[in-house]
Structure 1
Amino acid sequence: MAATPSIAFVTMVRDDNFFLRLWVEHYARHVPRQHLFILLDGFDQTPPDFTAGCQIVTLPRSTPGPGWDMRRWKMLADFNAALLGRFDVVVLNDVDEIIVPDPASGISLLDALARARDVGVITPFAVEVVHRYDICPDPLDPTQPILRQRPHVRLNVAYAKPCITAVPVRWNLGGHRSDHPLLDLDPVLFLFHLRFVDRDMLLARQTARHTIMQATRPENPVVAGIGWTKSAGEIEGFLLSLQEKGAPAESDFQFGWQRRRMTTGWRKDEASGFWQMGKIHNRQRTYEIPERFRDLI
């Protein structure tokens, strides 16, 4: 086993420079930019200046239709497997997902990720950053730490993804599950899902997704994940439901019983062949992000 593992990071993106900049700047602090692989979705996409030095792969667009996003995730799994021919570990995520270690652990990001060489696949615990605009009404300032401006999360098991790999895997739609039979829910690593980080940005992004989806008919089979079909009213209702649950709770970010339920509920879905964790409920409850995390993203 190499003393210093080689680790690659991969994402695929289209017209999403806000999150792409966060993604690049975060991981470029840990590995050379040559280890950052950005798949641009469409020949009409121009790499932003801040991606200089990264590995840019520009791909032709695929017309939305039945099975469209599932085919994309098959392609991503194939690309991930190809990179494992040259890298010890590959981390593949959507552009609005950032992985960090708990600073209290004293373990660096790369050391935590390197453990995948021993276990095959690592799943980080997931929290979803949400805009409690009743508490934080100001617009985001991209020059300042995001978690200081949006210091609230909810739990979402779906984003505890098997995304840190040292062996090839097959993912389901969205990469939420895989065919890897062993669960290693890391005690140190957290995936921060940033989709809901800002109300106005979220609604604009959803409008863009609806534009893509308009190329399909309602009677078509699944085109993309359910999040793509949410209306503006549904999104507003979700954000309001977080406020209705009351003030955010203080948390030490250990989430002991939630982790136990996720691991004890580990099972294979025989119909799909993918493995999934146990569910947790009360997902509208929000928590305060501890101070030690707030400058990491």
Structure 2
Amino acid sequence: MDNTKAKVAAMTMLRGDYFYLERWVEYYGRHLGRENLYVLSHGNDPEHRRIAEGCNVINLPYDATRYSFNQRRWQMLSLFTSGFTRYYNWVLCGDVDEIVAVDPAVSDSLQDYLMRFGETKAPRVITPFAIELVHNPGLEPEPLEGRNILDVRRIFRLNANYAKPCITRNKITFGPGGHFASEKEGYLDPDLYLFHLRFVDYQMTHDRLAVRKEQRHIQSGDLAEVDRKPTGWDTAWDSYLDLSRKTPVAETVDFPEFRKEMVEGRHPKNDGAFWMMGGGRSSDVYRLPERFAALF
């Protein structure tokens, strides 16, 4: 690692999503220091500044048209991320409902874990293994308020789509959503996990997806009115309801065959301009071991 640079920065962009920002700031502030967090506030929201006090808040004008919004957003995040690698050894960029953590059996410090690499063996980009939390109200009835998320929500499914190449030490270009990137060589870290929190609570999921559906309507038109294919946001509520009724089949984070499929199935997109992990989604759900409960 380069001792002329700071260690690790984390960056996200959001509109609203106060619950997720509170958890994001608390977690990454504890591990990296708030002075190394960058919050891009879409719409110059004073509540973002309040929650992210001590962080670097960058205000962006609100675009009500949402014209090519996701593409423009990730083009901008790519440029910010690439620029910050000139001053940080590692830059972590992701959505506000995503938390990257190291297995507590391996390390209690995300920063120390990332800085363990020597200069000659560090990968250019790190991809964590994806854990998509799914709230089953019948099995996990306790509210999130005042609790660590992983105290009361540990049911998950495997979803390779959220194994994002989100930690880099070099110039990078992300594809829309950050699911794929320009880096050809893939490194799936053995002990890092990306916890995707979109489905972490029944009522929050319902309310948030209703907002996203309206945004999708503004951006691309309603499915019943325009000729377009449904996206994951269009079908997310039905997907969540199906998953939320399932019972975990095992308590584990050990999935060697799934990891193998992800690595061996790594493939190019857009004629090789981007690369992403292979693999798919599990039909079953699982439960995180107890040791993860204190993470966040």
**Fold match by TM threshold 0.5:** yes
Q: Is the 8 A contact 1:67 1:221 kept in 2?
A: no
How far residue 83 of structure 1 moved from its aligned partner, in angstroms, is 1.1
- Matched with 1:277 is 277
Residue 58 of structure 1 aligns to a residue whose secondary structure is strand
Contact 2:180 / 2:276 at 8 angstroms: preserved in 1?
A: yes
Partner of 1:239: 240
Q: Give the secondary-structure state (helix, strand or coil) at the position aligned to 2:21.
A: helix
Q: Tell me how far apart the structure 1 counterparts of residues 76 and 180 of structure 2 sit (CA, whole Å).
A: 16
**Post-superposition shift, 1:116?**
9.3
Change (3 A) 1:161 1:191: same
Mapped to 2, the partners of 1:36 and 1:15 lie a distance apart of 18
1:116-195 matches, cutoff 5 A: 118-141=122-145, 143-195=146-198
The answer as to whether partners of 1:112 and 1:189 remain within 8 angstroms in 2 is no
Please state whether the residue corresponding to 1:104 is helix, strand or coil: coil
Q: 2:232 aligns with which of 221, 227, 242?
A: 227
Post-superposition Cα deviations, 1:171-198, rounded to whole Å, max 9, x if no partner, equal 1110000110111100010010011000
> Where in structure 1 are there 5+ consecutive unaligned residues?
none
Residue type of the partner of 1:226? Answer: T
Report the counterpart of residue 260 of structure 1 in structure 2.
260
Match of 2:165, as an amino acid?
Answer: P
- Partners of 2:71 and 2:175 in 1: how far apart? 7
Report if aligned partners of 2:126, 2:189 keep a CA contact under 8 Å in 1. yes
Q: Output the CA distance in 2 between the equivalents of 1:200 and 1:55.
A: 31
1:134 to partner: Cα distance: 2.2
Q: Which moved more, 1:43-52 or 1:18-27?
A: 43-52
Q: 1:85 to 1:144 in 2, by over 3 A?
A: same
Which amino acid letter does the alignment assign opposite residue 121 of structure 1? Answer: V
TM-score by length of 2: 0.89
My pick for the range that moved more, 205-214 or 41-50, is: 41-50
Counterpart CA distance in 2 for 1:106 and 1:30 is 12
Question: Secondary structure of 1:148's match?
Answer: helix
Letter of the 1:148 partner, please give it.
D
Give how far 1:107 is off.
6.2
Cα distance in 1 between the residues matched to 2:30 and 2:209: 30
Are the counterparts in 2 of residues 65 and 220 from structure 1 also a CA contact under 8 Å?
Answer: no
Aligned with 1:25: secondary structure? helix
CA contact (8 A) 1:265 1:277 kept: yes
Match of 1:287 in 2: 286
Q: TM-score, normalised by structure 1?
A: 0.89
Report the Cα distance in structure 2 between the residues aligned to 1:82 and 1:102, rounded to whole angstroms: 29
Partners of 1:135 and 1:46 in 2: CA distance:
33
Alignment of 1:197-208 (within 5 A): 197-208=200-211
Q: List structure 1 segments (4+ residues) > 6 angstroms apart after TM superposition.
A: none
Q: Matched residues in 1 for 2:152 and 2:45: separation?
A: 33
Cα displacement string for residues 31-84 of structure 1 (whole angstroms, at most 9, x for unaligned residues): 221100000001355434331110000101224455221111001101111111
| CA-atom RMSD in angstroms | 2.3
* 1:135–1:76 Cα change, 3 Å: same
Alignment-mate amino acid for residue 182 of structure 2:
D
State yes or no: 1:113 paired with 2:114. yes
Q: Find the aligned partners of 1:46 and 1:274 in 2 and give their Cα distance.
A: 35
User: What percentage of residue pairs aligned between the two structures are identical?
Assistant: 36
Give the Cα–Cα distance (whole angstroms) in 2 for the partners of residues 265 and 124 of structure 1.
16
Question: Contact 2:134/2:244 (CA < 8 Å) preserved in 1?
Answer: no
> Runs of 5+ in structure 2 lacking a partner?
none
Alignment check: 8 A CA contact 1:64 1:213 kept: no
